[in-house]
Structures are given as C-alpha cells and as structure tokens.
C-alpha cells in the first residue's frame, strides 16, 4: 500500500474531535470512502507501526479533511503532527441514486464524519436531505455546528432532543434513502427503523489493521453465515446484506 506525505494545512478542534485538512489532488474522493493515515516518520521510526483508518470528512476537489477523536497512541501522535502520511481513498462508499427522492443522513458520535462529504455530494446532485446527529452529551455535539439545520439528540439531554439519533429523526417514513454511520447497535436500530426505505446504506466502524484486506481483522457478519471485510467490500454496506 502506497503512502503519500502531506502537510497538515489546518487543524481545528470541534468539541473533543480534531479536524485536520490537507491538500489532495491524486484522484477523486467518494463519500463513505476512508483513508489510512499516520504521523510522518515511517520507516525511520515505527511509532506508530500501523496506520489508522479515518472516513473522509469533506473534500472540495482541492482540500481533504479528516475528523477523529484521540483514543490511543496513533491518534495522539496524529493530533500533534504537522506532516502525515496518507493513502489514496480506499473502500466502497455510499451509492447516490437521484431517483430515490428525499434522503435521511444519520450519524452517531464520531460516526458523523462521512456525512459531511455525503451531504456535499447530495447537494451537488440536487437531492434534498435531512441530517440527524446523536451524541452522548453536549461536548461532542459541538460538531453539529458544521451541519446547519441538523436535528441533534444527546443521551443525557444536555443538547437537542433527549435520547438517541432516532429520537432526533422521530420517523424515517417517507425517505427514499437512508444513510447512516455509527456504532453497530445504532446501525442495527437504523436498519430496523428504515425497513420501508427503498435504499438503506450503513457505514460500519470496524477496527482495521491493514486497510488492504490481508489481515481479516475488520470482518462483519453477513446473511448466510459468512463474513466479509469492511476495508474491501465496505465500509459501506446495504443494510440487507448485514446479519444484524
């Protein structure tokens, strides 16, 4: 897997999340795709040895951005980096079908990340859509300011509607397409709630070691009793494929 060295052009804090921007001109970015990234230094230093997977937050044709939360050594180093190493866009993203009518976008916690570029792409395609975001409390809900008009819910009721992202959405009836990213229990709940929608796509948040399908560390169960890799066949799946 080839890595490219890029300069961090801008760094911003959105509640507990970090937003990093870098220039990218080597090919298009589709909403829902991800990138493997690490602080620059390899192979002079093996810290960190493995890159980390991040959904693309946004891309305007020149600048790409990643939204993440510091959870360990790799993200802590990336949070302080002025230069980082990234791959080209990886994985299968969201399918956009203009014939499906109005769309609902649902994100839970850091799962809001791929919804920004998805919303941009839906706007470009002339597809009306509503955004619903769910968080544990008001601190991570600060990122909702980047989604004007979005419905917000928090589990402790400190911001927006008390409850889950589905409480913010109230109902998914009438939406021709539903797109979601977040923890697996949330995605399973969205799948049940969106049963009448003609298109329901879910972006999973499985941990990845390699990003190229060789380690099988990011597999998810599918109907029929088999498993498939999030990094190759996903990370976006049609809801009916997943065995939840």
Q: How far is residue 231's CA from residue 35's CA, in Å, rounded to a whole number?
A: 10
Query: pTM for this one?
Result: 0.94
Per residue in 136-181, pLDDT (tens digit) is 999 999 999 999 999 999 999 999 999 999 999 989 998 999 999 9
Per residue in 178-214, pLDDT (tens digit) is 999 999 999 999 999 998 778 999 999 998 989 999 9
Contact (Cβ atoms closer than 8 angstroms) between residue 195 and residue 188? no
State the pLDDT at residue 95: 96
Contact (Cβ atoms closer than 8 angstroms) between residue 204 and residue 94? no
Q: Which of 113, 134, 103 is nearest to 200 (CA)?
A: 103
Residue 73: both structure tokens together: 């050594």
Domains identified in the chain and CATH numbers: 4-86 (2.40.30.10), 98-205 (3.40.50.80)
């Amino acid at each position: 897997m080839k890595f490219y060295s890029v300069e961090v052009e801008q760094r911003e804090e959105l509640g507990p999340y970090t937003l990093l921007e870098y220039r990218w001109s080597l090919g298009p970015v589709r909403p829902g795709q991800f990138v493997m990234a690490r602080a620059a230094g390899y192979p002079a230093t093996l810290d960190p040895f493995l890159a980390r997977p991040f959904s693309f937050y946004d891309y305007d044709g020149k600048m790409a951005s990643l939204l993440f939360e510091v959870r360990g050594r790799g993200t802590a180093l990336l949070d302080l980096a002025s230069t980082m190493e990234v791959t080209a866009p990886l994985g299968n993203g969201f399918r956009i079908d203009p014939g499906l009518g109005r769309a609902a976008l649902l994100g839970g916690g850091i799962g809001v990340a791929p919804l920004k570029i998805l919303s941009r792409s839906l706007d470009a395609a002339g597809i009306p859509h509503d955004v619903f975001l769910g968080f544990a409390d008001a601190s991570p809900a600060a990122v909702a300011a980047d989604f004007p008009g979005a419905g917000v819910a928090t589990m402790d009721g400190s911001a927006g509607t008390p409850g889950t992202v589905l409480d913010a959405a109230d109902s998914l009836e009438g939406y021709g397409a539903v797109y979601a990213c977040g923890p697996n229990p949330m995605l399973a709940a969205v799948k049940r709630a969106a049963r009448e929608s003609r298109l329901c796509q879910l972006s999973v948040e499985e941990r990845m070691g390699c990003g190229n399908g060789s380690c099988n560390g990011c597999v998810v169960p599918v109907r029929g009793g088999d498993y498939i890799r999030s990094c190759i066949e996903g990370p976006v799946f049609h809801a009916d494929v997943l065995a939840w």
